[in-house]
Amino acid sequence: MIIRPPSNWFRMLLVWNGSVLPSILPQLGLMLAISLVALLGDGRIFGERVPLDTAPFPLLGISLAIFLAFRNNASYQRYLEARQLWGHILAAARTLTSQTLAYLPPERLDHAQFARQLIAFVHLLRHQLRGSDAGADLQRLLEPQAVAQASARNYRPIAALNDMRRTLAGATAGLPGGEQTVWMLDAQINNLADAVAGCERIAGTPIPYPYGVLLHRTIYAYCFLLPFGLVHAIGAATPLIAVFVAYTLVALEAIAQEIGDPFGVAPNSLALNAMSRTIERSVLELCGLALPAEAPVGKGYQVS
């Protein structure tokens, strides 16, 4: 995800990095070529005039706008829910760390080791959602035996939560008021497990494929026919208007595709690297341990 400082209206017109424009330039180039063919051929193909005018395009445009709005709303709901789930993970991790520090003395629980277990869980979830390798994060956080055990599992975040639950059960055994303490700590483990399940549901349930196919076909059919409907009405302005309309429609589809996969690595997906680093720094700070550097920041923006 690219996080930028606020920009004025003029700089927003020139933004390149983080916009979907680089990914849709080939489509816009094709639209320009079709528009020039329509203009130079006076709306004719192989000598035959394409029988189109501007009348049907407003009706088609309204239907297309409604469908695009539905597609973008559905994608944004997925994006928003995914962000809320990671907010719950941050809150539960902080609360769980604070509770273990307050209610479990050091002779019962190695707080530094438990903090590393909790942080490893966060990174394991991120890597599972992105299908990436968690080896480097595990090796810096866990002992070699624990790394080997984690690597051999299929549902690694849930296995990490199970290990944390066992650790807490052992630390509270025989503790005065231990049953209440276990219930309190277990509630935060359950919150983390619920967030994992929510993330897995979003990652494993994409927007139904036929919606995307229908929208994709409709957008391109509309854009490819548009120059032949405009050429006799606006003449030389046809390429400019046709490319601008295509930019709007194709860009909206591209944005919907990016945010519809909130756990991906596209510029507009969730900043999971930065959020994982924030959780790690917060947990370590509560434990009084050294903090890693913040997420890397580039020139005027943060890529995560």
Average the pLDDT over each of 36-45, 46-55, 249-258, 293-302 and give the range with the smallest value.
293-302
Domain residue limits at 234: 24-41+52-289
What pLDDT is recorded for position 3? 61
Angle among Cα 243, 246, 248 to the nearest 5 degrees reads: 115
pLDDT tens, 4-29?
Answer: 666 677 777 777 777 888 889 999 99
Report pTM.
Answer: 0.88
Q: How many domains in the chain?
A: 1
- Any domain includes 216: yes
Whether 160 is in a domain gets the answer yes
Could you tell me if 137 and 120 are in contact, meaning their C-beta atoms sit under 8 angstroms apart?
A: yes
Tell me, what's the pLDDT at 299?
46
In a domain, 79, yes or no: yes
Inform me whether the pLDDT recorded for 140 exceeds 80.
yes
Q: Is residue 220 part of a domain?
A: yes
Residue 294 lies in a domain: no
Give the integer Cα–Cα distance in Å for 287 and 290: 9
**260 neighbors 75 (Cβ within 8 angstroms):** yes
Residue 149 lies in a domain: yes
Q: Is residue 201 part of a domain?
A: yes
Q: pLDDT of 160-194, one tens digit each?
A: 999 999 999 999 888 887 788 899 999 999 999 99
pLDDT score of 124 more than 70: yes
Query: CA 267, CA 277: separation in Å to the nearest integer?
Result: 18
